[in-house]
Structure 1
Amino acid sequence: MDWKPHAAALAAQITHPASGCWIPIKQTPRHLLVERWFTPSEHGWRVLDGPADENRWAAAAYSDTTLVTRIGPVHADHAEPGQSVTGLPTSSSTLPSLVLTMLRHGRLTPGVRLLDVATGSGYSAALACQRLGDDLVTTLDVDPYLTQVAAERLERIGWHPTVVTADAGADELPGTFDRIVSMVSMPRIPASWLSALAPAGRLVTTLAGTGLIVTADKTKDGGAMGRVEWDRGSFMTTRTGDDYPPALQDVFASAADQEGEDVTSSPFPVLDVMQAWEVWSMLSLTVPGIEHRTGTGDDGSRMTWMLHPDGSWARATTTPGEHSATVHQSGPRRLYDELEKIRWHWIERGELPVYGAQVTITPDGTTTLSRGGWSTTL
């Protein structure tokens, strides 16, 4: 494959010649790091084999698109052609523009030691090696197959970073680093990250269940100070095993069509919360662990469900031609009421306080976000 024109076109799309990432994007053969990937199908996910169709391979690898490489415990490298796989994505090669955003916030100046959290396909590590030299790059993932195959493919294209298999959320980190940049969402900042961060070092991560990018610089007390960036970004949440815990199917079964304990009317139409990044992020911080689902009724009604591990659920329906919603709720928390508070806050003040919030992290990892009189602690 003549991949260089494709890589050059990708570089022109997502960056510019004055950027430090211009050359890395142009010179990294992403297709060699992602030989097979999954695409949605009618019955789940089906695998696509790059070498079997080089035109399709080039189009996918050099588009600004996330390529899903693992569903549940099944990696695309191991899926049978034509096999339908069901489950949630558990690894991917993230869309290049978001990788660049995270590296840009990491401020990769010459000589800094970088820990790239969540190796995935190895693409972010490859770009970092181009910027810093592979002797300054360590990449880490919880999945031994991912680290093994990424190391092999990175070596094939000429890069030899330190590749480590470990749980970034639970294990001690393998060294001291000037920059820690995470390509996976974290529920909170682990204390081990602060211990491994060099004086005045910088960490960059997204927060699980939100579209928030957090940057923070280490302070003299061993904690860190920073902010929620105005950019938005979201990654898969960190995991400890082969797959994520089961989704809230039992709670959804209760929420699907039952009357519930409370039936009320909302002045607002149904909202696809996960497409409204500010609202989604604020709600996830207010009610950690909340899940969202959407659907369409037989009559064209827009429907949304909110589910929580404590058994709370809410279902809202907006019928065609209407601008209000009928809301059913049950369980120990009224989830839709929490959403309504956030929507009223936005209407009354014109914004939500999550983006641009100040971030304060104590040495034990306790993280507080605050802005304009609002605050929350993870």
Structure 2
Amino acid sequence: MDWKPHAATLAAKIAHPGSDWWAPVRETPRHLLVERWFTPGPHGWTAVDGPSNEKVWAAAAYSDTTLVTRIGPVHADHAETGQPVTGHPTSSSTLPSLVVTMLRHGRLTPGVRLLDLATGSGYSATLTCQRLGDDLVTTLDVDPYLTQAAAERLDRIGWHPVVVTADAGDDDLPGTFDRIVSMVSMPRIPATWLTALTPGGRLVTTIAGTGLIVTADKTEDGGATGRVEWDRGSFMATRAGDDYPPALNEVFAKAVGQDGEEVTLSSFPVLDVMQAWEVYSMLSLTTPGIEHRTGTDDDGNRLTWMLHTDGSWARACTRPGEHTATVHQSGPRRLYDDLENIRCQWLERGELPVYGARVTITPDGETTLSRDGWSVTL
């Protein structure tokens, strides 16, 4: 494959000549890092084999798109072509523009030692090796197959960072680093990250269940301070095992087939919460653990469901041409009420305090976001 024109097109889209990341994107053969991936379909996810169709391979590898490489415990490298696989995505090669955004926030100046968390395909490790030199890059993933495959592919294209298999959420990190940049979302900042950061070192991560990118610099007391950036970003959440917990299908069945214990009329139409980044992030921080689903029925009614592990659920419906929603709720908490309160704040103030919030992290990892009198501790 003549991949360089494709890489140049991608670089022009997500960077600009003279920027720190323009040359690394141009010089990275992403297709050699992602030879197979999954695409969604009506009956599950189907593996695509890149080398069998170079045109499709080039179009996918050099688009600014996330390529899913693992469903549940099944790697695309091991899946049978044409045979659907069901489950949740558990690994991917993240869209390059978000990778570059995270690395840019890391302020990777020459000579710094970097820990790249969540190796995945090895794309972020490749970019950083070009910026820093592979002797200053360590990349880590919880999945032993991913680290092995990434190490082999990195070797084939001439890069040899330290590649480690470990759980970034629970295990001690393999050394000390001036920068930690995470390509996986965390529920809070592990204390082990702060221990592994050098004085004045910088960490960059996203918060699980939100669209928030957090940057923080280590302070003299062993903690860190920083802020929630105005950029938006979201990754898969960290996991310790082969898969994430099962979806809340039993709760969803109740939300679909039952009337609620409480039925009300909302003055707002149905909202696709996960596309409203501020609202989604604020709701996830104040009421963590909600699973969102949306749909449209045969009559054109817009539907949304909110499900929680404690058995709470909410269902809202907006009919065509209407600007209100009929809301059913059941369980120990009223999930839709929490959403409505946030939407009211959003409309009254024109914004929510999550983006731009100050971040304070104690040495044991307790993470607090605060802005304009609002605060939440993770």
Taking the aligned partners of 1:10 and 1:347, their CA distance within structure 2 comes to: 37
Correspondences of 1:137-176 after superposition (within 5 Å): 137-176=137-176
Which residue does the alignment assign to 1:82?
82
Structure 2 CA distance, aligned partners of 1:295 and 1:258?
A: 17
What secondary structure does 1:51 align onto? helix
2-structure distance, mates of 1:319, 1:59: 39
Q: CA deviation at 1:298?
A: 1.9
* Aligned equivalent of 2:55: 55
Deviation at 1:81, TM superposition (A): 1.2
Q: Distance in 2 between matches of 1:284 and 1:103?
A: 25
Q: Are 1:65 and 2:65 counterparts?
A: yes
> Residues of 2 paired with 1:319 and 1:23: CA distance?
51
Query: What amino acid is aligned across from residue 216 of structure 2 in structure 1?
Result: A
1:206 — aligned with what?
A: 206
Cα offset, 1:18, TM superposition:
1.5
Residues 188-237 of structure 1 show CA distances to partners (whole Å, capped at 9, x for unaligned) of: 10000000010000000000000000000000000000000000000001
Cα deviation, residue 256, structure 1: 1.1
Q: Deviations over 1:26-57 (max 9, x none)?
A: 11100000000001112111111010000111
Distance in 1, Cα, partners of 2:98 & 2:306: 28
Aligned to 2:332: 332
Structure 1 residue 137: deviation in Å? 0.3
Within 5 A, what are the aligned runs for 1:15-26? 15-26=15-26
Match of 2:271 in 1: 271
Paired amino acid for 2:206: T
- Taking only aligned residues, the RMSD between alpha carbons, in angstroms, comes to 0.5
Distance 1:273 1:41 in 2: 23
Q: Quote the Cα distance in structure 2 between the aligned partners of 1:311 and 1:221.
A: 41
- What residue in structure 1 maps to residue 361 of structure 2? 361
The 3-state SS of whatever aligns with 1:209 is: coil
Query: What whole-Å deviation, never above 9, does each CA across 1:123-171 have from its counterpart, x for those lacking one?
Result: 0000000000000000000000000000000000000000000000000
Once the 2 structures are TM-superposed, how far is the Cα of residue 257 of structure 1 from its aligned partner? 2.5
Q: Amino acid of the residue matched to residue 110 of structure 2?
A: P
Equivalent residue, structure 2, for 1:280: 280
Q: What is the aligned residue count? A: 378
Structure 2 unaligned residues grouped into runs of 5+ = none
The amino acid across from 1:34 in the alignment is V
Amino acid at match of 2:87: G
SS at match of 2:5: helix
Map 1:287-298 → 2, pairs under 5 A: 287-298=287-298
Gaps of 5+ in 1: none
CA distance in 1 between counterparts of 2:2 and 2:169 reads 40
Matched to 1:15, the amino acid is: A
Structure-to-structure mapping, 1:1-378, within 5 angstroms: 1-378=1-378
Q: Which amino acid aligns with 1:99?
A: V
What is the SS of the residue equivalent to 1:180? strand
Q: What SS does the corresponding residue of 2:314 show, helix, strand or coil? A: strand
Return the alpha-carbon distance in structure 1 between the equivalents of residues 67 and 343 of structure 2. Answer: 33
Instruction: Report the CA distance between 1:260 and its aligned residue.
Output: 1.5
| CA displacement 1:319-357 (0-9 Å, x = unmatched) | 111100000001111000000000000111111000000
Distance in 1 between the 2:346 and 2:82 partners? Answer: 47
Q: What is the rounded CA distance, in whole Å, between the counterparts of 1:366 and 1:332 in structure 2?
A: 27
Identity %: 82
AA paired with 1:113? R
Equivalent-residue separation in structure 1 for 2:152 and 2:132 (angstroms): 20
**3-state SS of the aligned residue for 2:351?**
coil
Please tell me the residue identity of whatever aligns with 2:182: S
**Cα distance in 2 for residues equivalent to 1:102 and 1:189:** 16
User: Distance between the aligned counterparts of 2:252 and 2:147, measured in 1?
Assistant: 35
Q: What's the TM-score, normalizing by structure 2?
A: 0.99
Note the C-alpha offset of 1:253.
1.3
Q: Residue 54 of structure 1 aligns to which amino acid in structure 2?
A: E
C-alpha distance in 1 between matches for 2:53 and 2:219: 51
SS of residue in 1 equivalent to 2:52: coil
Deviations 1:167-191 (A, max 9, x none): 0000000000000000000011000
CA shift for structure 1 position 251: 1.1
AA of the residue aligned to 2:107: R
Task: Report the CA distance between 1:297 and its aligned residue.
Answer: 1.6
CA distance in 2, matches of 1:133, 1:223: 28
AA of the residue aligned to 2:228: V
1:54-81 Cα distance to aligned partner (Å, 9 max, x none): 0111111011010110011000000011
Amino acid at match of 2:66: T
* AA partner of residue 161 (structure 1): P
Q: Distance in 2 between matches of 1:304 and 1:257?
A: 14
